[in-house]
């Protein structure tokens, strides 16, 4: 019996020694870069960008660990406000989800912008719609694409859940704050699935972030009032349907790793990477675009 016990103790001690050795060794071996752990979670629209930034940040700073998670904007805001994570990713301003007191404690870092494009199934045969036509389509006033200059094909609405940031942005800027008719539309909580549904259902119409269209799926992106949904048009202020992507911290970031990570995401060098993934860079927005937003 006692023999067994000593063996267990010895093994435990050995393991402890190895762990301690590693920690001590690594903190001495590498002095370049930042060390520490960053926990970021929230918006699934922003997640791909955060993940890719985290990967390259960890390559540059081998002593740092960045944990990235989805979960949705609501989760991200709640958790950063509770202090359980360092950075809360959100498609929406904190004031739109949290009560005033908790929202006022959060500091906003606008790391990117997301443009949202209406997309239609090829059978619909429309390339451009006016704002009024879009509203008519999404409120069920018109039910056939030929009524708005397309083919003779029934309109099938596809939307995102009521709590989705993408949907909130689309309804606010593309539909002029008109609520779309969710009791007449198919719904999916995933933009990838939405694209697949648009491809397969004749006459389907939906909306996704531009970042989902970089792979050239077989759908038609629709211009609004003749303005094509491109980053250039967002920057010059002519395309209105976009939102900021926020990374919230509770107060100004104190941890060195959090500071460095946010700095990297907002850096000039990282801009091309951001645009390559289909997101926009907030600093490139013209004054006109900024002023007319909201």
Partner 1 sequence: MDKVVQKAIASDKRWRAVYIACGLLIVALTLLMGAFLLYQGSQTFIKAHHSIWEFLFTSDWAPLDKTGLFGGKVGAAVYIVGSLETCLLALVICLPFAIGSAVYMTEISPKIGEKYFRPATEIYVSIPSVVYGWFGMTKLVPLIKNIFHPAMGGYSVLAASIVLAIMIFPTITTVSADAIKSVPMSYREGAYGLGATRWQVIGKVVLPAASGGILTGVILGLARAIGEALAVAMVIGKTRSFAANLLSPTSNLTSAIAADMGNTAQGGEYNLALWTMALLLFIISIVLIVLIHKLANGKKDK
Binding site for partner 1 (CB under 8 A): 1, 44, 70-75, 77-78, 96-99, 102, 154, 156, 161-165, 182-189, 193, 196-197, 200-202, 204
Tokens of 90: 């959100």
The least CB distance from residue 156 to partner 1, in Å, is 6
The least CB distance from residue 93 to partner 1, in Å, is 12
The least CB distance from residue 208 to partner 1, in Å, is 16
CA 247 → CA 3, 40, 41, 62, 293, distances in Å? 55, 9, 9, 23, 19
Rg (CA), the chain: 23
CA 65 → CA 59, 221, 269, 287, distances in Å? 10, 38, 21, 37
Strands of 34-162, DSSP E: 36-42, 64-71, 87-90, 106-120, 128-129, 156-159
Nearer to partner 1, 98 or 223 (CB): 98
**Position of tokens 């937003």?**
293
The least CB distance from residue 216 to partner 1, in Å, is 21
CA angle 230, 214, 269 (to 5 degrees): 80
Nearer to partner 1, 183 or 216 (CB): 183
The least CB distance from residue 89 to partner 1, in Å, is 12
- DSSP class of residue 178 equals P
Task: Establish how many alpha carbons lie within 13 A of residue 253's alpha carbon, considering only the half-sphere containing its beta carbon.
Answer: 22
The least CB distance from residue 184 to partner 1, in Å, is 7
Nearer to partner 1, 80 or 213 (CB): 80
Tokens of 78: 């709640």
Query: Could you give the CA distance from residue 215 to residue 213 in angstroms, rounded to a whole number?
Result: 5
Nearer to partner 1, 186 or 227 (CB): 186
Nearer to partner 1, 44 or 249 (CB): 44
Nearer to partner 1, 93 or 212 (CB): 93
């Amino acid at each position: 019996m006692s023999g067994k016990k000593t063996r267990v103790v010895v093994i435990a001690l050995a393991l402890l020694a190895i762990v301690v050795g590693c920690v001590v060794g690594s903190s001495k071996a590498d002095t370049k870069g930042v060390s520490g752990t960053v926990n970021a979670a929230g918006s699934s629209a922003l997640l791909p960008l955060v993940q890719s930034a985290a990967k390259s940040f960890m390559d540059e700073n081998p002593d740092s660990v960045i944990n990235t998670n989805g979960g949705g904007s609501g989760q991200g805001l709640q958790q950063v406000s509770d202090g359980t994570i360092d950075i809360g990713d959100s498609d929406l301003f904190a004031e739109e989800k949290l009560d005033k007191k908790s929202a006022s404690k959060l500091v906003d870092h606008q790391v990117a912008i997301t443009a949202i494009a209406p997309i239609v199934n090829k059978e619909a045969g429309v390339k451009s719609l006016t704002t009024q036509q879009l509203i008519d389509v999404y409120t069920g006033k018109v039910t056939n694409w030929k009524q708005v200059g397309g083919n003779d094909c029934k309109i099938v609405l596809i939307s995102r859940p009521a709590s989705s940031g993408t949907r909130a942005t689309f309804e606010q800027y593309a539909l002029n704050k008109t609520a779309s008719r969710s009791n007449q539309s198919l719904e999916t909580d995933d933009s990838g699935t939405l694209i697949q549904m648009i491809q397969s259902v004749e006459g389907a119409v939906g909306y996704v972030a531009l970042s989902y269209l970089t792979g050239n799926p077989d759908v038609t992106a629709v211009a609004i009032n003749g303005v094509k949904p491109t980053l250039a048009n967002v920057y010059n202020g002519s395309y209105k349907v976009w939102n900021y992507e926020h990374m919230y911290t509770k107060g100004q970031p104190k941890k060195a790793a959090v500071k460095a990570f946010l700095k990297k995401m907002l850096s000039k060098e990282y801009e091309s990477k951001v645009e390559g993934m289909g997101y926009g860079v907030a600093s490139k927005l013209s004054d006109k675009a900024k002023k007319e937003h909201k």
